[in-house]
Every structure is written in C-alpha cells, then in structure tokens.
C-alpha cells in the first residue's frame, strides 16, 4: 500500500513532478525547495475527499506563496477519463509554461496522472519523441507508470477531431517545397496542428 510523503524530481528545468501537497505548509516547502512558480494539480474530487484536502484552502495558501495555482480534475485509475481529460491537462501545463512558469505537476502519488500529462505535453507541445519523454520522466520519477493506452487514445481522438486542419497543413508543406514524402508530410502536419491546438 502506498504511503504518502512529500517528494519530487525534476523532469526538465521547467517541470517538476511530485506527490501532492496535503496541507498549506507543504506548498511553502514546495515553493522554497523546488523554486517553482506554479502548481498544476490533476487530483479528482474523489482524491481530495479521500485525503481530506481542502482545495480552497490550498489554493489560497498557494497564492499566498506567490504560486499560480491550476487544476485539471482527472479520475485516478480510469483510463477513459484520462483519455478524455488529457488535452485540457496538457493545455493547462502549456499555458503555465507560456507564461514563463516553472511548474510543479502532481496527482496524488505523482506516478500515474502527472507523468501521463507531462509525457503528452513533452511529445505534443515540445516535440519530444515518446521514448525521449519517458526517459526524462523515469529519470525524475523512477516509479512512474503513465497509462499509454490513454496517451495513444487521446492522440487518436485529437487527430480525428483535427483531421481537416492536418490535411490542410500537409498540403501547405507540400506547396512550400518542404515535401519529404506523404508520411513525413502528414507526421509534420500532425505535430504542427496538435501543438497549435494545445498551446495558448
């Protein structure tokens, strides 16, 4: 059985992954020890209730520490909910990064939903390969187990939703003389469009 402790690791110079703060003092520790300027919580209401975490109190305490506080609720151990909520979680992280924040990303244990969100952000917004992204995550959080099914399902959903824009972008690449073959054009167009969709 997992036992809570406040701990973290640095994925990139801009992103820290860790366990959830349980009380206001934990946010003070996070702010001073990690030098982050924003916190992104992926905890679901069920998690908050189970652990007795007062979200309003935590948000107020974080703001008092000068932290930008953001939250995207994702249900733990629910791949379908992870798949559905992942684009919004990635967009939240992308928005914080666009504002210049160094971000502490957490779910409860920091092993499932937060590595999944960081994985998707690094791949879809920053352009990392999935292998490269998961290596960084595991270096910071060796026990991380992001739901790959949710990641790939989310990617399929995004491509399906934005297929027309991807096709248009692939044609633009061809017209610009950047044509490198149908598959390469499509992959580049897909990367471009999904990055635009998820970034502020």
* DSSP run (H or E) holding 18: strand 15-18
Which residues 6+ apart lie within 8 Å of 75 measured at CB? 44, 46, 81, 82
C-alpha closest to that of 111 among 84, 138, 92: 138
Write out the DSSP string of 51-105: HT--HHHHHHHHHHTT-EEEE----TT-HHHHHHHHHHHHHHHHHHHHTT--EEE
Determine the Cα–Cα distance for residues 25 and 28; give it in Å rounded to an integer: 5
Residue of 47, 107, 154, 161 marked catalytic: 107
Contact 86, 120 (CB under 8 A): yes
Determine the Cα–Cα distance for residues 80 and 85; give it in Å rounded to an integer: 9
Contact 74, 81 (CB under 8 A): yes
154 is catalytic: no
Which residues are catalytically annotated? 107
């Amino acid at each position: 059985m997992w036992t809570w402790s406040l701990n973290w690791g640095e994925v990139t110079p801009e992103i820290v992954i860790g366990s959830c703060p349980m009380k206001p003092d934990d946010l003070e520790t996070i702010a001073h020890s990690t030098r982050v300027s924003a916190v992104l919580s992926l905890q679901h209401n069920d998690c908050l209730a189970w652990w007795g975490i007062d979200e309003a109190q935590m948000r107020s305490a974080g703001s008092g520490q000068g932290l930008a506080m953001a939250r995207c609720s994702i249900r733990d151990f629910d791949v379908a909910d992870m798949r559905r909520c992942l684009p919004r979680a990635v967009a939240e992280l992308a928005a914080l990064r666009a504002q210049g924040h160094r971000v502490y990303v957490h779910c409860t244990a920091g092993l499932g939903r937060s590595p999944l969100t960081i994985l998707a952000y690094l791949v879809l917004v920053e352009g990392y390969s999935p292998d490269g992204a998961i290596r960084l995550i595991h270096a910071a959080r060796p026990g991380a187990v992001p739901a790959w099914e949710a990641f790939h399902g989310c990617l399929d959903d995004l491509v399906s939703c934005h297929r027309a824009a991807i096709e248009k972008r692939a044609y633009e690449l061809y017209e610009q003389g950047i044509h490198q073959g149908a598959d390469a054009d499509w992959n580049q167009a897909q990367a471009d469009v999904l990055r635009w969709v998820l970034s502020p």
